[in-house]
Amino acid sequence: MVEKTLRIIAFFWIFILCAGTLQYLNFKSDYNFLHLKQFAVKTGFYLPAFYCHIFGSSIILLAGFFQFSKKVYSNRRLHKVLGKIYVFGVLFFAAPGAYIMTLFINRGTGVFISFFIQNTLWIIFTLSAWLLIMNGKVDEHVRMMRRSYALAFAAVTLRFYIWLFTIFGNGVSFPNNYLIIAFLSWIPNLLLVEAINYYDRKTTYTLVK
């Protein structure tokens, strides 16, 4: 019951984030958030990276979320298709876009370092998970993919904390708030996954039929 409730809450926030990206399908270079990034937009690099990141992240968040379903996992064809969408989306769209966007962050060195480390670990975990399954190491693959998705889910927790700080605090403009949010968006996610992996260390997974 607790697990089901947490999955519903997680999907709710994923849905909110994904739905929010649809507004950028108008492809206006000065729309909403992009209005604050006009200097970056004028470089010619930011817009393609932005679209790759937000649309790619939305797709992989959904693809990755359903991979945790037993029904999806037991359907080998669907599991493989969603897995390929997730890995391809991270390595060729979401993560590269995030790297370029990170270059234009004006929230200070600490925030830049946080996002840079997070993005680098995201690529390492995702690529490692792919290589592990290609070598038939299913258990290690499952645990590595959890780490990867924990960092993908940081897109959700980042916006959740921004909302939380705005409603109950001084928002992201208050000194050091964005720095706290930047690290808070992904480090607790990884710690939670490491706890899950630790308690799940004796579980043996098999390739889906």
Residue-level pLDDT at 73: 87
Helix pair angle (154-168, 177-184), 10° resolution: 150
Total-model pTM: 0.93
The Cα–Cα gap between 154 and 150 comes to 7
Residue-level pLDDT at 3: 74
Burial 176-193 (b: 16+ CB within 10 A, else e): ebbbbbbbbbbbebbeeb
Residue-level pLDDT at 38: 95
Q: Measuring CA to CA, how many Å separate 10 from each of 7, 32, 57, 144, 204?
A: 5, 25, 15, 20, 26
The tens-digit pLDDT sequence of the chain (209 residues) is 667 888 899 999 999 999 999 999 999 999 999 998 999 999 999 999 999 999 999 999 999 999 988 889 889 999 999 999 999 999 999 999 999 999 999 888 999 999 999 999 999 999 999 999 999 999 999 999 999 999 999 999 999 998 888 888 776 676 688 899 999 999 999 999 999 999 998 888 876 55
